[in-house]
Amino acid sequence: MSQPAHLPYGGIATFARAPIVQPDGDWRADVAILGIPFDIALGFRPGARFAPRALREASLRYVPPFTGLDGVTRLQNVTFVDAGDVVLPSLEPELARERITAAARQFRARCRFPVFLGGDHSVTYPLLLAFDDVPELHVIQLDAHLDFTDTRNDTRFSNSSPFRRAAEELPNLVHITTIGLRGLRHDPEAVAAARARGHTLVPMDEVEARFAEIVEALPPGRQVYLSVDVDAFDPAVLPGTSSPEPDGFTYALVLRVIAALAHRHQLLALDVVELAPNLDPTGRSELVAARLIMETLCEVFHD
């Protein structure tokens, strides 16, 4: 006998019980999920390759539609599919990037809002290449780290460099806003290069004080790619990440930022990266990240 679909510990773990499809298949959906189990570009603790599977399992706690205390039902008519993971070569990063870009292009042609489950933050670079046709593309990055380093350990394609590579290759990428920066380790050259390009850098200790300014920094109606590195969170909220930094976002503040941005701009896609479920034996980290994905979708599809 098959397990009832409402049991989070029964059945096959697709994201939010979404039907399984092939990335290049004949399907259309409002939301499509793609896993990118890649973490060989990390500079510290590995484990982000396990995040897509962990997020799928955690998402079974949050299967839409959702009805709140206000009586409003959310995501009731939003269609979901799960296209599994990009098939990645184990130790061929250049080929991996090509496959990630190709899969993201397929997704954009078939769904209204792609959700990409990383993976370390290096995967955002090949994902952004699939948005090369978007006029005046903006990126909003929630992150403890700038990730605009030119080279690290003799490589130009680490998880410290995705936005540097994207800015070099995409003439349509006009602006990057990074929110939540903190910690002892900052690359002076990367900071100078980002500021020279006109990027907005918001330290964590200024987020609440500058909240309205941050939200209103971009003219309304911009087309925005949202990248969430889970180390943006305070490690007391989400400890399962390679490079946690104290004094980060609370869950409520992250959601407040995302809700304001979603209502002001057109969010094109979401990636969630740097979750390392092996570093949090409680399973809390993937539950927090899965809920954030769902609440982001509630804001994107709020009408």
Q: Which helix (H) or strand (E) holds 174?
A: strand 173-181
What confidence tens digit (pLDDT) does each residue in 260-283 have?
999 999 999 999 999 999 999 999
Percent of the chain with pLDDT over 90: 92
Cα separation, 270 vs 298, whole angstroms: 13
Q: Which helix (H) or strand (E) holds 194?
A: helix 188-196
Is 107 contained in some domain?
A: yes
Residue numbering of the annotated binding site for Mn(2+): 121, 143, 145, 147, 229, 231
Is 111 contained in some domain?
A: yes
Domain count, the chain: 1
Cβ–Cβ under 8 Å, residues 116 and 15: no
Structural tokens at position 246: 């104290």
Cis check: omega of the bond before 119, within 30 degrees of 0: yes
Is 3 contained in some domain?
A: no
CATH of the domain at 171: 3.40.800.10
Structural tokens at position 59: 């998402």
Is 6 contained in some domain?
A: no
pTM of the model: 0.96
Is 94 contained in some domain?
A: yes
Residue numbering of the annotated binding site: 121, 143, 145, 147, 229, 231
SS3 label, residue 265: coil
By the 10 Å C-beta count (0-12 exposed, 13-18 middle, 19+ buried), 197 is classed as middle
Is 169 contained in some domain?
A: yes
Residue 6 has pLDDT above 80, yes or no: no
- CA 39: distance to chain centroid? 15
What's residue 303's pLDDT? 67
Mode of pairing for the β-strands spanning 223-229 and 173-181? unpaired
Is 293 contained in some domain?
A: yes
Instruction: Tell me what the mean pLDDT of segment 287-301 comes to.
Output: 98
Is 2 contained in some domain?
A: no
Which structural domain, as residue segments, surrounds residue 210? 15-301
